[in-house]
Each structure stands twice: as C-alpha cells, then as structure tokens.
C-alpha cells in the first residue's frame, strides 16, 4: 500500500483583461492548485471549476479535503483513482481532473518519462490553438486583434445582439481564420441559420455551441442545414451518448474540467472517432498547469483551444508552449512537463 499526501491551495488568477461571454464577465478566476506527494516526488495539478456546471473553488476544495489522502495498491493504475473519486462523491469533475492530473504528473516523474510518451501520443506537438476574444464592443476589437498578433487562429465569442458588428470590426483588421463560439447564445433555428449564412462568407471554420444544450430537435435541423462544422461544448460533459450527439453536431469539444480526467477524455476521443465525430480539445480559464494537461489530450484532437494560460496575467510555472505558427507543444520532460 502506498499513500499520496494531497495538498490543496486556492489558485486565484487575475486576468490580463476582463473576459465576457454570453453568460457574464470575469476579471479573475478562482481555481485550485493540487499537489500530491509520495516517495519524495511531487505531482502537480489544477482544478478550474466552472459555475455552468455548479462547481466553485469552494466546492472543489471541499471535495478534495473530504477525499483526503489517496491510498492505493497500485500507484500506476490511474483507473483505480478515477473509480475511487467517483465512488467518493458525484460531480466535482474539475476537482477530480486536478487530482488525476497531479497523479499522472507524479507517475511520469517517478518513471522518469514524459506522460505523452507513456500514453503513446502521436508526438509532443499538437494542433494550432485558437486565441480567444471575449465579447466586447466592436471598438475594443482593434486592441484585441493587435494582442492576438502572434496567434494565427482566432476564437470569437458571440451570442449578443450585435454579433455581425463584432465580426465586421474584426474583419476590417484581419483575415485570419476564425472559430466562433456562441455559448448557447442563439435562440432559434432561423437566427442561427442567418448567422451561419453570414459567417460562411467570413472565413469562419467552426462554430461552437450555437444553441442551448436543451434544443436537441433544433440542433438536429441546424446540423443538416449548416455549411460550417458545428461543435458541441455545453451539450457534452462526457456522460452523454455520442451517437445521439452526432445527430446534432459534427464534433465535440472535450474539456478536462468536464470529463474529470485525462484518461476519461482519451477514452471519449476514441469513442468519438468510431461514430465519426470530429474532436476539439478546449479549456476553461486556467493556468499553464491545467492547460498543459489539456494540451496533452489535444495531441489526439483535430482542433485545439488551449489558450487559458495566455489569458491569465501570470502563470505559476512553465509548461505547454505555443510555437510561432500556433501549434501547441509539450516539453520533453518527465511527467506532464512542467519547469
């Protein structure tokens, strides 16, 4: 029997600038730093709880303190940890992801091998990541386009009553390919179709979650009519039928904080491939710690949106990097690859 001592600390991350989506605005995110200690080695993880899923820094902290130190017969069998966390309490997927991430980091350090190698990833360089613009008045977009200069793909949050003005303002400044995220912001098929027709002429390559997750019939109709691939985000937590989702969407956006584990995310990606769904790996607003784990999962994806660490004012350490052409790359270091 081995025991992982679990240490948790609030990780409050002020943002470079106010971030607004269709559900609200934030100047700071309140995450949780998770460390595990065993055999003189420390593994590091992060939980980024999201209100959309009824999770907070307090609820994640509560889960992890209640869960307590982790005793296991096999430190390398991550499925034992996932099972034990799920048996302990339902929900709290961000907390679970933070702890699993820390144990994975520990395993790699203990075995002196990068986790991407241990999991036999296709390589350590993933897709190009998008760089996200929160909702803002069209006049603020100029500054944002300048800030995004190093990144070749943009992600623009819509779901306002001036969506076309936002896109027009961006298009006056750049012709970079754009991923649009409506965050459930369009309420009817007609409104969504009108936007898709407009966006189709604006070099938009993917639209994330055009309508509310509850609009299943509407999304089925929209998928048949859309000329731009539609990706599920709020519609998928990882516990839905992928077959059913494939009737509404062309792909799914997997996030560690929704699935609750790297291992679960990889299983979902393999299942998604079987039903012909495209795969995007996204993130919450999180530091480079959780983003490095998200980037690991994104090594198997078609699209990456792993830019949380670019939006926070300061990162606690070094991990995933964005290369000059926009590709995400992990470090060739033991564990998840933190420095």
Q: Whose Cβ is closer to Mg ion: residue 181's or residue 307's?
A: 181
Contact residue for Mg ion among 46, 55, 105, 181 (CB under 5 A): 181
Residues between 232 and 291 that touch Mg ion (CB under 5 A): 233
Q: Whose Cβ is closer to Mg ion: residue 99's or residue 206's?
A: 206
Residue 208 found at the interface with Mg ion (CB under 5 A): yes
Stretch near Mg ion under the rule CB under 5 A, chosen from 144-152, 207-215, 241-249, 254-262: 207-215
Q: Whose Cβ is closer to Mg ion: residue 208's or residue 218's?
A: 208
- Please name the residue that has the structure tokens 């982790």: 70
Q: Whose Cβ is closer to Mg ion: residue 209's or residue 264's?
A: 209
Quote the least distance from Cβ 132 to Mg ion, whole Å: 9
| Strand duo 2-21 + 24-38: pairing | antiparallel
Stretch near Mg ion under the rule CB under 5 A, chosen from 74-82, 141-149, 192-200, 202-210: 202-210
Secondary structure class of 42 (helix, strand, coil):
strand
Q: Which residues pair with 251 in a beta bridge?
A: 231, 278
- Cβ 205 vs Cβ 181: under 8 Å: no
Quote the least distance from Cβ 93 to Mg ion, whole Å: 16
- Cβ 288 vs Cβ 319: under 8 Å: yes
User: b or e along 44-58 (b: 16 or more beta carbons within 10 Å of the residue's beta carbon)?
Assistant: bbbbbbbebbebebe
Quote the least distance from Cβ 270 to Mg ion, whole Å: 22
- Cβ 197 vs Cβ 225: under 8 Å: no
Secondary structure class of 83 (helix, strand, coil):
helix
Q: Whose Cβ is closer to Mg ion: residue 233's or residue 291's?
A: 233
Quote the least distance from Cβ 255 to Mg ion, whole Å: 8
Q: What is the 3-state secondary structure (H, E, C) of 179-231?
A: EEECCCCCCCHHHHHHHHHHHHCCCEEEEECCCCCCCHHHHHHHHHHCCCCEE
Q: Whose Cβ is closer to Mg ion: residue 47's or residue 207's?
A: 207
Q: Dihedral sign, CA of 219, 220, 221, 224?
A: positive
Stretch near Mg ion under the rule CB under 5 A, chosen from 160-168, 190-198, 206-214, 218-226: 206-214
Q: Whose Cβ is closer to Mg ion: residue 31's or residue 75's?
A: 31
Give the integer Cα–Cα distance in Å for 23 and 251: 23
Stretch near Mg ion under the rule CB under 5 A, chosen from 16-24, 95-103, 180-188, 197-205: 180-188
Tell me the number of residues near Mg ion by CB under 5 A. 3
Q: Which residues bind Mg ion (CB under 5 A)?
A: 181, 208, 233
């Amino acid at each position: 029997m081995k025991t992982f001592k679990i240490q948790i600390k609030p990780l409050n991350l002020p943002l470079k600038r106010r971030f607004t989506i269709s559900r609200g605005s934030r100047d700071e995110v309140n995450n949780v730093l998770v460390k595990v200690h065993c055999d003189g080695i420390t593994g590091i993880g992060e939980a980024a709880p999201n209100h959309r899923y009824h999770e907070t820094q307090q609820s994640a902290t509560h889960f992890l303190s209640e869960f307590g130190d982790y005793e296991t017969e096999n430190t390398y069998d991550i499925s034992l940890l996932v099972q034990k966390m799920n048996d302990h309490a339902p929900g709290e997927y961000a907390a679970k992801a933070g702890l699993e991430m820390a144990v994975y980091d520990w395993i790699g350090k203990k075995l002196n091998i990068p986790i991407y190698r241990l999991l036999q990833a296709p390589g350590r360089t993933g897709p190009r990541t998008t760089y996200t613009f929160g909702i803002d008045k069209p006049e603020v977009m100029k500054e944002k386009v300048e800030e995004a200069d190093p990144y070749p793909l943009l992600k623009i949050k819509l779901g306002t009553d001036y969506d076309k003005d936002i896109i027009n303002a961006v298009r006056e400044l750049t012709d970079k390919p754009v991923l649009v995220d409506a965050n459930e912001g369009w309420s009817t098929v007609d409104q969504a179709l009108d936007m898709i027709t407009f966006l189709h002429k604006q070099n938009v390559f993917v639209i994330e979650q055009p309508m509310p997750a509850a609009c299943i019939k509407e999304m089925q109709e929209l998928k048949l009519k859309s000329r731009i691939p539609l990706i599920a985000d709020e519609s998928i937590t990882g516990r839905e039928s992928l077959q059913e989702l494939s009737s509404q969407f062309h792909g799914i956006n997997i996030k560690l904080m929704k699935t609750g584990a790297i291992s679960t995310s990889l299983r979902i990606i393999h299942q998604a491939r079987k039903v012909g769904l495209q795969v995007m790996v996204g993130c919450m607003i999180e530091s480079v710690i959780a983003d490095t784990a998200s980037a690991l999962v994104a090594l198997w994806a078609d699209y990456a949106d792993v830019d949380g660490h670019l939006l926070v004012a300061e990162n606690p350490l070094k991990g995933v990097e964005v290369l000059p052409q926009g590709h995400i790359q992990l470090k060739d270091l033991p564990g998840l690859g933190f420095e």
